[in-house]
Structure 1
Amino acid sequence: MDPYKIIIKPHVTEKTMNLIDQNNELTFIVNRGSNRSEIKTAFEELFAVKVERVNTQITHKGEKIAYIKLAKEHNAEDIAVKLGVF
């Protein structure tokens, strides 16, 4: 599957900004039909980083949110800057 169809857009809130700093973790809205391994593969392919783990959650609006924790050798702030989050 095309990684651009899996990773839809960044999910930016005050909580997710804290996760970037404290946990080296990024948050994205993803395709509802995708699973954790597909999200991990798509993210690694798009941003050329190593992902440690992926947790997902369905919101009350029906959106699927993925919490993507990066490996220690990669910095979530760098990717957030590239995306224009900061």
Structure 2
Amino acid sequence: MKSERIYKVLLGPHVSEKAAMAGDAGNQVVFKVLPGASKLEVKNAVEALFKVDVVDVRTVNVKGKVKRNRFGLSKKPNWKKAYVSLAQGQDIDFAIAE
């Protein structure tokens, strides 16, 4: 995997109530990833960027919702998220230190 691809695979952390429960229960972190990203690419990107050991990666294709606006109906784009299981005792802290 090329080093440029590592920085493009992960789009950012996905923060939701379900992601918080997964983090508490199973030592997992949820990321928004590129729609064409494979599990191996996600694993290599997380290990390289955050210096942690990844045990398992599960990906989910999320369908975009249909929303109403003043012009009628519009569809939000589909996207992909990855549940990344970390090794016991490892953690990723997204807080920015100032």
Q: Could you state the TM-score of these two structures normalised by the residue count of structure 2?
A: 0.76
Unaligned runs of 5+ in 1: none
Q: Distance in 2 between matches of 1:57 and 1:13?
A: 15
As a proportion of its length, which structure holds more strand? 2
Match of 2:94 in 1: 83
2:8 is aligned with 1:5:
yes
Match of 2:89 in 1: 73
- How far does the alpha carbon of each residue in 1:62-85 deviate from its partner, in whole angstroms, 9 at most, with x for none? 11100000011313xxx1xx313x
2:29 is aligned with 1:26:
yes
Question: Number of matched residues?
Answer: 79
Secondary structure at 1:83's aligned position in 2?
coil
Match of 1:58 in 2: 61
Identity among equivalent positions (%) equals: 35
Runs of 4+ residues over 4 Å off in structure 1: none
1:44 Cα deviation after fit: 0.2
Which amino acid in 1 is paired with 2:14? Answer: H
- How far does the alpha carbon of each residue in 1:23-58 deviate from its partner, in whole angstroms, 9 at most, with x for none? 100000001111000100000000000000000001
Larger radius of gyration: 2
As a proportion of its length, which structure holds more helix? 1
